[in-house]
Amino acid sequence: MRVPLETVDAEPAPLGRILLTGATGRVGARLLPHLKRLGGEARLLVWGPGPGPGPGGGRLVTGDLRDPAVCRSAVEGVDAVVHIASAFVGLDGPGAEEVNRTATAALARAALDAGVRRFVQMSSYLVYAPAGDRPVREDDPLLESPESSFPAAKLGAEAALRQFTGGELEVCVLRVAFTYGEGDPHLADALSWAAHRPDDERLHLVHHADVRAGIFAALRSPAAAGHTYNLADDEPAPAALLRPLADEFTARGAGSGDAEEGGPLGCVVDTTAARRDLGFRPAYPSIEDARRAGRM
């Protein structure tokens, strides 16, 4: 098993000044303490208070990302942006796509005007159209008119960034699989899904530590500019493996509500590009590895 990136002793140069959006969410709140420990100076901007862990002592700013003035103030003096925040609760698919397209365009435009070098967009593997049994690659078709608001929000953000690709703002999009670990009750959604699926149907997961490793690599790697990468573990989990974990997580909450009972929860993705360009190697190749390491 590899050592997670954030625990390696010999680290490259400090990350610099980072604007982090979505700092109270599942990914952002777990990212922030490690970002600061690796020499990053964080500025935090969120749509509103979220359900995740607290912001780890960082200065938290709440604002409407669609407001150019808010975006200009947020990016002033920063070296890079990690954009995780999404607005989708209470919105239908078209509404979520439009809100996030507008917000991400405003943030990227402000970043470009402020001379920010790198813009890392957190997206999801839920944006892909069905591709059959094979692992999905980054150039495969995306959903055209998603009814669910979460993938619609991520598609809106990705669409906004296409106009900046190839320009002075170095955009990198990370499409992450189903995130879990470090006490994230979101795993309850996967366990609910597994209860209604055939034993051999697989769900692609990625541990929060490996998501962080992917983000740090995307911030640092020259090869990341202008590219999109799938982030996922090495071994998609079959439903038969996930079901026995249900009792362990019953007390942690009912999950996020992103999953539909018995319905599809995502796809299996190909991580070849992230391995080649970012050096991405999951510290937890499977959920069983994370469980044995006590990182669930």
Fold of the domain spanning 14-184+204-235+266-284: Rossmann fold (3.40.50)
pTM: 0.90
166/7: higher pLDDT: 166
pLDDT digits (tens, 9 = 90+) for 181-217: 998 988 888 888 898 899 999 999 999 999 999 999 9
294/258: higher pLDDT: 294
| DSSP 8-state class, residue 275 | H
Strand partners, 43: 19
How much is the pLDDT for 36? 78
How much is the pLDDT for 38? 80
58, 32 in Cβ contact below 8 A? yes
Q: Where are the domains of the chain?
A: 14-184+204-235+266-284
How much is the pLDDT for 39? 76
Sign of CA dihedral 47, 154, 20, 161: negative
Query: Backbone phi, then psi, for 18, in 5-degree steps?
Result: -120, 130
16: three-class secondary structure by DSSP: strand
The angle at the Cα of 237, spanning 232 to 242, to the nearest 5 degrees, equals 130
- H helix and E strand count, the chain: 10, 11
Average pLDDT, the chain: 87
How much is the pLDDT for 8? 37
Query: Residue 142 burial by CB count (10 A; 0-12/13-18/19+): exposed, middle or buried?
Result: middle
| Whole-number Å distance between alpha carbons of 193 and 56 | 32
| Whole-number Å distance between alpha carbons of 109 and 252 | 40
How much is the pLDDT for 77? 92
Q: Is the pLDDT of residue 261 over 80?
A: no
| Whole-number Å distance between alpha carbons of 1 and 217 | 19
How much is the pLDDT for 254? 47
How much is the pLDDT for 215? 97
How much is the pLDDT for 226? 96
Q: Is the pLDDT of residue 165 over 90?
A: no
Q: Is the pLDDT of residue 257 over 50?
A: no
60/37: higher pLDDT: 37
75, 114 in Cβ contact below 8 A? yes
How much is the pLDDT for 192? 87
